[in-house]
């Protein structure tokens, strides 16, 4: 059982195309798709008219069929409003309309099941007097997202009009995005485009995949990434990537598709860390250490025209300590 998810501009409204071999009840199907919500919460949403199937109101007992077009207005999670928390933030830019923050690795962007505190939103509520509420209290100020393990530049909207303007810039691909990554394997070209339609994995909902050229899966969305090799090592590469589209896990999926998954990306590369002993046999067990324990992907740069002031913002986030540590070790032990 799977689905093609297509979130509109309002993150609380989700449209999906059902993929299922059997015909489960609608409420049970939605619980399987949105694990943050209990069956009783989903049933309340259905009873309140918040779910339609093929553009018609549906009942909880409706039997979902393959290809059904389902639209759901997700309820806010049943948890208190996120509280301000005094968490240090590296603020790269700030004015009365927006801010840019260098998100550290291992930080969830907004509260959700299992992560009700310690998120970027908790920190934002402490550091800023005003945040856009366009996406609700749980995503206050959040215009776009980074994976928990991805570090780097993230934009924050302080009021609703700026939020709408920034969202439009992302939608129209008017924001230049550049990431820095370490990859497993040596990139065989100095630069290249990776073009491959991305879809949900048929057997693992947390994963995405690149479709074969002749695959007609209607879940697939066109995706293009451009990469440049900065430095090559024996068995590894250091590169910059510029995604030209904004698909879920795009950079991670695209690099994995050409045989160079992001280093320490357990989902797409099978390895969840890089240890010193992975690079050299010269050190003993007592000297071994984890160099980087998360996917080596960093949102290095965003460039955009300020939606309210009109000036160009060129925002850069320096490489975090763990990334620098891994890079230094690669230069020392795996230089070509």
What six digits make up the tokens of 173? 């691909």
The tokens of 300 are what? 């290095």
**Helix, strand, coil % over all residues of the chain, rounded to 5:** 20, 30, 50
Cβ neighbours of residue 102 under 8 Å, at least 6 residues apart? 89, 90, 91, 92, 151, 152, 153, 317, 318
Q: How many Cα atoms sit within 13 Å of 230 on the Cβ side?
A: 11
Contact call for residues 145 and 177 (beta carbons, < 8 A): no
H-helix or E-strand spanning residue 199: strand 198-200
Check 2, 27, 68, 147 and give the catalytic one.
Answer: 147
DSSP letter string, 95-163:
-SSEEEEEEPTT--SS-BTTBSSSSHHHHHHHH-S----TT-GGGTTBSS---TT-EEEEEEESSHHHH
Name the DSSP class of 252. Answer: H
Query: CA-CA distance, 317 to 147, in Å (whole number)?
Result: 16
Q: Are strands 151-157 and 98-103 parallel, antiparallel or unpaired?
A: antiparallel
DSSP calls for 64-78? --TT-EEEEEPPPPS
Q: Could you tell me if 199 and 4 are in contact, meaning their C-beta atoms sit under 8 angstroms apart?
A: yes
DSSP assigned state of 91: E
Check if 218 is active-site. no
- Active-site residues, by number, are 147
């Amino acid at each position: 059982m799977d689905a093609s998810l297509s979130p509109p501009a309002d993150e609380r409204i989700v449209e999906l195309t059902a993929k299922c071999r059997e015909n489960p009840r609608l409420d049970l199907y939605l619980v399987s798709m949105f694990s943050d919500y209990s069956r009783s919460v989903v049933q309340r949403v259905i009873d309140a008219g918040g779910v339609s199937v093929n553009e018609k109101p549906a009942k909880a007992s409706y039997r979902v069929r393959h290809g059904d077009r389902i639209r759901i207005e997700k309820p806010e999670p049943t948890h208190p409003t996120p509280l301000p928390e005094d968490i240090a933030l590296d603020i790269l830019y700030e004015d009365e309309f927006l801010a840019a923050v260098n998100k550290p690795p291992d930080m969830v962007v907004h509260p959700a099941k299992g992560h009700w505190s310690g998120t970027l939103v908790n920190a934002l509520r402490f550091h800023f007097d005003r945040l856009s509420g366009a996406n609700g209290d749980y995503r206050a100020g959040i215009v776009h997202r980074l994976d928990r393990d991805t570090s780097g530049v993230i934009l924050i909207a302080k009021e609703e009009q700026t939020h709408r303007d920034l969202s439009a810039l992302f939608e129209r691909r008017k924001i230049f995005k550049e990431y820095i990554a370490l990859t497993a394997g040596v990139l065989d070209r100095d630069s290249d485009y990776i073009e491959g339609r991305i879809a949900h994995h048929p057997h693992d909902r947390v994963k995405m995949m690149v479709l074969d050229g002749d695959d007609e899966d209607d879940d697939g969305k066109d995706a293009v990434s451009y990469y440049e090799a900065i430095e090559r090592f024996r068995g590894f590469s250091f590169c910059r990537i510029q995604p030209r589209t904004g698909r879920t896990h795009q950079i991670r999926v695209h690099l994995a598709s050409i045989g160079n998954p992001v280093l320490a990306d357990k989902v797409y590369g099978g390895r969840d860390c890089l240890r010193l002993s992975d690079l050299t046999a010269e050190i003993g067990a007592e000297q071994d250490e984890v160099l980087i324990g998360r996917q080596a992907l960093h949102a290095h740069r965003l460039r955009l025209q300020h939606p309210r002031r009109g000036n160009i913002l060129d925002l850069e986030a320096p490489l975090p300590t763990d990334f620098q540590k891994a890079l230094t070790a690669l230069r020392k032990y795996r230089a070509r």
